[in-house]
Structure 1
């Protein structure tokens, strides 16, 4: 198999070898159910407790506020549908943003078929929401505001603390899809006044299939959710089902490593991203999508005017000779089969033509400069070749 230069870390990350090492004993020697009362089950239960604390420590939560899920999509559904069911006596109005992940947008659209009203806030050309527009949208019957912490396509960081403050002043709950933020930057649910937060392990070097939902339990802002998955009362009754012990241990270990290594990783990855971006911007007709001041350090979303992004991706992933394959993206991996332009980029004002010319480069802690030198050379060459074809 050919080597790969992997620059699609916002879609998923490789498993850190230390994370794999931590989880392996619970895939092999101790495969017990954490709810079993025999010795092996008790041991599994204890390591789950440790992992729950590791997750809680990463985001400044208490252990009883962490609900393990299969990932962010499930956590988002539990949170939004749970609030809709439990707080509908107060109102049936929800506020979110046009650039949210489809896990949020599709869930909100489902609730609209059940009689809920959803306001979808616009964003500016830089990808940020207008706080005054949020304030105007809030109503006495608003029960939930859901705003993504870091956008998965552009890396744009929303002003979460201010959004939460406005939400609470209106008497509503605040939720954030922090899938692209947790493990990469400091997130503290208390400092940011977050009521519900969703995260997924495979975005920061844990395996796929494990995530968590933070549900605030500290008074006076305790959030009450109903069980949407029944069958045994696991996870404080909110999410029945046998616990994914190996995945939970892996998530806990990834959180522990993030606490220790986040700043070092951030500094090194930012330097790599800035180098890659600066060199690619030397290609004529290339520009950055999104705010470059309020943006996560590992992402650059670039528009190569006149270059079809799918053709670029295919060209880079089918390299000939001894060159490695290169993995980049033109948007969310969750909608990679869609032929529609990115809803994030069109919401930011790009027309369909330009939206189909954009590539997301998302770096991780296993990338290095020598790889980027190869990518820069090949992207430049591929861009020239594709543009030449367009003018034949």
Structure 2
């Protein structure tokens, strides 16, 4: 892990009047850039060749003679043949020379590799560098471990496939789509074998991933992703904020549930098992009587990260939950960085964030606002790692 003092030394040499906000051009980057522009920052996108036009053409920023943005949100985009080329020393040095504060997202850690992010990427990150590893299921001290330490609820684990005696979710990565899932459900060992073999034959999952899959009892209920924010520099109001709630559109799952049962039964074998590839998000709100519980869960998570992952969570994080018929929460995933669904709130803001801050406040804008406040109060050292 790069020593935090080394990052502080880099930040101390930054020109605070010319800070840029950067991230990998993927995931929730548009929200990051939109929020940065709203708070007066220039923006930088690290793009992969073949996926760059969204950032360097269609959302390219145009500024007037006084530097005000009159269209778009991306001031500068560097295009690499691979995302991990950003790790090259010369590319990192350019970011440092340009006073870039980098906002990590899931694409960044996936395509660049968590060990590289921890040990080789010597650019200041807005957020908790050491917590990014906790998102990797099966590693020591992953988010399940944190949830255990915090006493937080999550779906009950099934130790081995032979023990499946009710509907479960088998969680493992997709073999081809790096960011996506090869998840499937099963209600018995026989169904597990049938579906696993089908997915193996189609190249959707690998045997190694299957051998290391997490099996959880399926929670029947709606999904809510809580987009939270923790501010270490807030000294008057509560440091914890609920900014918004989103939920996912997943292929081909959502296509399946749109079909009447008789049509589902006529699907061919290769169509039968739905995939859980996230392709979009939508916004949501929560019954107000349940909001206290959301804050309670989030407070416990924050406290656990501070105890076991010093300095703890910084800035945005996302608790991904299901709610059962008795209104109990079950945390099925934790993102210790900006969530994947925050683009649904860019420009218009999150419903709860807007209410709290009395202006449009998406997660991306809240990150930029935190940077701005840290610069103004000389506390950048408290929000970067």
TM-score by structure 1 length?
A: 0.28
Q: TM-score, normalised to structure 2's length? A: 0.28
Larger fraction in strand = 2
